[in-house]
Chain A
Amino acid sequence: MTRGGWTFGLAMLVIVLAGFLAPHVLKNPFYFFAGYVILQYVVIATGWNILGGYAGYINFGAAGFFGAGAYASAFLFNAFGIPLWGSLIAACVIGAGLGLLMGYLTLRIQGVYFAIATLGLVIILETIIHNIPALGGARGMVVYGPPPPGWAAGPPQYMFVLMLLIAVASVSLARWMQLSWVGRGLRAVRASEDAAECSGVPTLRLKLLACAVSGAVLAAAGAPYPFYTSFVEPVTAFSLIIGLNAIAMPLIGGTRSWQGPVIGALLLATTQQIATITISSELNILFVGVVLIAFVALAPNGLIGLVRRKGTEARL
């Protein structure tokens, strides 16, 4: 392991420990409710960026993967009483499967078609759920999860720690993918797919791998959701806001590295959480729209790109 790797591992360990200790320091449960949502977006942004950032394939259907994960865990718990860790694994498998399917159908052609196909993924999944009575259809499913284990201070604290673990795992995975041969290959795909193919990079297989991993992480973000809200129904599980944030957050932070989506998600989700309890109006969404346009126009490589612009220019 490199020195950077040790530092990263140590930092992650400290974050996890801090997460376990936090409920003993911070007494106000609101921080854990809000923290859960923010961490959920860290996972979503990180998952999205594995495909969108590293390989340059835009996924408009992040909400589809998220919702699939949420429905998987809600159904498994209500029907078979499968605990959260079990449904988390199931959600990852389903998410990876969906990713592979989408990739297999569309990745052999230009990236923009993939983006368009993902637009439809949400609608197809929503239609399917509407037509399966076992999943509650449009009426949704009430999920009363088990009480949190004894070591947790309460439900929000437990959900927070759980999401923190998922976030740390996703970020570590994203970092590994970026630094390993996978990341190198994907960067080559992003720069020029033809050139990469000619120099022997197995582009299709790499892209499929990225699709699967990205899908799995996005679905993992959704798996605890039914236990957080006690309720899933198609409109909110496949909410457009999830798809919107999944794109906006990496873009604001920077799509080229694992830090970008984390920074973007922390910034944007925190702003949104504060905005929800302070200024509350349509201006909130307008703000996201304007920020998106501004970043595309003025800082296409996100905040990280903005900071590094003076340094190394034109890296692949």
Chain B
Amino acid sequence: MITRRNFNRLAAAAASGLAMPAVLTGRAFGQDKPIRFGASISLTGALAGTKNGQIGYELWRDDVNAAGGLLGRPVELVLLDDQSTASNIPAIYSALVDVEKCDVLFGPYGASLTAPVMPFIKQRDLFMIGMFPLAGNDQAKHDKFFHSAAWGPNSGTDWARGFFDLAKSVGVKKLAILANDLEFSKNAAVGGAKVAEEYGMEIVFNQSYPPNTSDFSTILRNISAANPDAVFIGSYPADSTAIIHSVREIGVPDSVKLFGGAMIGPQYGSLLSSLGPELNGLVNCHLFSPEPTMQSAEIKSFFDRYVPRAEKEGVDPLGFYIPPFYYVAGQLAAAAITGAGSLDQAAMAQWLHANKVDTIVGPATFNEIGDWTTRRVLMVQIQNVEGNDLAQFREAGRQVIIDPPELKSGDLIHPYNKARAG
């Protein structure tokens, strides 16, 4: 007991980078002790849809341990459920560090859960891999925070810029913006409006709607009345479905060239298969698509192992959107630890700032506040979907990457009504 406490105190001192050389604590006391990775995940509550990330963590842990661990030590995960509630976050991370004595931290999911942990890691000066928080470090500017998702720099405004680049390339002048009154989609809408303005587009419609709106026919009619050339939408799964239904029922004017943007939902298997061909033509954000330009043996092996587990646990059977980046988070931390040769948080951060890491979703380099130096948010157009079979979405040619140019795997079909017709 006493030795353990001593060890912890030493580890804490080493973590703050002040007293002990980290090598000493690592070698002298921790030879056989597992390295503990702590994270808060949302098993329950509004964000429970993201809990399939846990499979990503676990696959990474199994791979690392199978390869002999890190610094000769096995890897262990400590995962706590934050119930999707921000007020739980400070206590959870204190528990991970002060009670569970975790060596390395992963962030909670998304911006609203990450904001509460930023002052904590800044005050303790801890290393963290953030999970999907848009612009998560733009205000705190903590130098030991890194994103696992490839939002890119200045992500608050820019992450969906791909949509507007496409819009510009097809000559969009008038834009409609519609967003759910929730954090992620509202941010997308505000950022989108800025980019549109920068590109000299006129915003002819800009509204938000309350969460759990189920009928969009009224809103769609108002959008049609404004006669836009493109419609940028920030939505969550339930309303994404309702919007797609309403498009089929009410229609959109022929002037609309692009439709979609920041809709959450058409990345998930359940929604893709339930809507099937209704999704054709949608241009939407994604982080991974099984197109030839993104395929690799590593990512294939990841999904080969993810799918059976996901099916057993009843979570998203495709897992393109979230789980690979949980695996990436592990890879980034592992690279930093191996690179630094210790668990010294400053040395880890320093190494990760200076080096490129090859992850299962491609190479990653970071700027000074931990954003991926290049934005790798995909704009995919859903094409050639027939019937409601889920397996087709694992094949190339269904979620065609049309932006960024370096990953492009097909051409944009427009206007939207033509693309919808297939």
Q: A and B: direct contact (Cβ < 8 Å)?
A: yes
Bound-state Cα–Cα, A288 to B180, Å: 31
With A30-B99, A231-B116 in contact, do A276 and B187 touch (Cβ < 8 Å)? no
Interface positions, chain B 12-27, Cβ under 8 Å from A, are none
With A154-B123, A231-B116 in contact, do A29 and B187 touch (Cβ < 8 Å)? no
- Nearest first, the 9 A-B pairs at minimum CB distance are A280-B81, A231-B115, A33-B91, A229-B116, A236-B86, A138-B186, A33-B94, A30-B98, A138-B181
- The residue that A229 contacts in the complex, of B83, B86, B140, B186, with Cβ under 8 A, is B86
Interface positions, chain A 216-238, Cβ under 8 Å from B, are 225, 228-231, 233, 235-236
Identify the B interface with A (CB < 8 A): 43-44, 46, 79-83, 85-92, 94-95, 98-100, 112, 115-116, 118-119, 123, 139-140, 180-183, 185-187, 190, 208, 210
Q: Does A139 contact B (CB under 8 A)?
A: yes
Bound-state Cα–Cα, A281 to B41, Å: 11
Bound-state Cα–Cα, A273 to B186, Å: 32
Asked if A276 and B46 make an inter-chain contact with CB atoms under 8 angstroms apart, the answer reads no
* Residues in chain B near residue A130, CB distance under 8 A: 181, 208, 210
Q: 19 pairs across A/B with beta carbons < 8 Å?
A: A30-B91, A30-B94, A30-B98, A33-B90, A33-B95, A34-B94, A130-B181, A138-B186, A139-B190, A144-B139, A144-B140, A229-B115, A229-B116, A231-B86, A233-B86, A239-B85, A276-B83, A282-B43, A285-B44
Q: Does A140 contact B (CB under 8 A)?
A: yes
Asked if B119 and A230 make an inter-chain contact with CB atoms under 8 angstroms apart, the answer reads yes
Bound-state Cα–Cα, A138 to B179, Å: 10
Q: Closest Cβ of chain A: how far from B33's Cβ, in Å? A: 20
- The residue that B80 contacts in the complex, of A28, A241, A277, with Cβ under 8 A, is A277
Asked if A30 and B190 make an inter-chain contact with CB atoms under 8 angstroms apart, the answer reads no
Q: Dominant SS at the B interface?
A: helix
Determine the residue in chain A with the shortest Cβ distance to B156: A139
- The residue that B87 contacts in the complex, of A144, A225, A277, with Cβ under 8 A, is A225
Which of B87, B140, B183, B186 neighbours the largest number of chain A CB atoms within 10 Å of its CB? B87
Chain A interface residue number, banded = 35 or more
Q: Does A271 contact B (CB under 8 A)?
A: no
Identify the A interface with B (CB < 8 A): 28-30, 33-34, 36-37, 127, 130, 137-140, 142, 144, 154-156, 225, 228-231, 233, 235-236, 239, 241, 273, 276-277, 280-282, 284-285
* Residues in chain B near residue A230, CB distance under 8 A: 115-116, 118-119
Asked if A281 and B183 make an inter-chain contact with CB atoms under 8 angstroms apart, the answer reads no
* Residues in chain A near residue B46, CB distance under 8 A: 235
* Residues in chain B near residue A156, CB distance under 8 A: 90, 94
Which of B79, B89, B91 neighbours the largest number of chain A CB atoms within 10 Å of its CB? B91
* Residues in chain A near residue B86, CB distance under 8 A: 229, 231, 233, 236
Bound-state Cα–Cα, A241 to B119, Å: 24
Bound-state Cα–Cα, A277 to B96, Å: 9
With A229-B115, A235-B182 in contact, do A37 and B87 touch (Cβ < 8 Å)? yes
* Residues in chain A near residue B95, CB distance under 8 A: 30, 33-34, 276-277
Bound-state Cα–Cα, A220 to B181, Å: 27
Bound-state Cα–Cα, A277 to B101, Å: 13
Bound-state Cα–Cα, A33 to B98, Å: 11
Asked if A231 and B112 make an inter-chain contact with CB atoms under 8 angstroms apart, the answer reads yes
* Residues in chain A near residue B181, CB distance under 8 A: 130, 137-138
Asked if B115 and A142 make an inter-chain contact with CB atoms under 8 angstroms apart, the answer reads yes
Which of B80, B90, B139 neighbours the largest number of chain A CB atoms within 10 Å of its CB? B90
Bound-state Cα–Cα, A253 to B129, Å: 42
Q: Closest Cβ of chain B: how far from A231's Cβ, in Å? A: 4
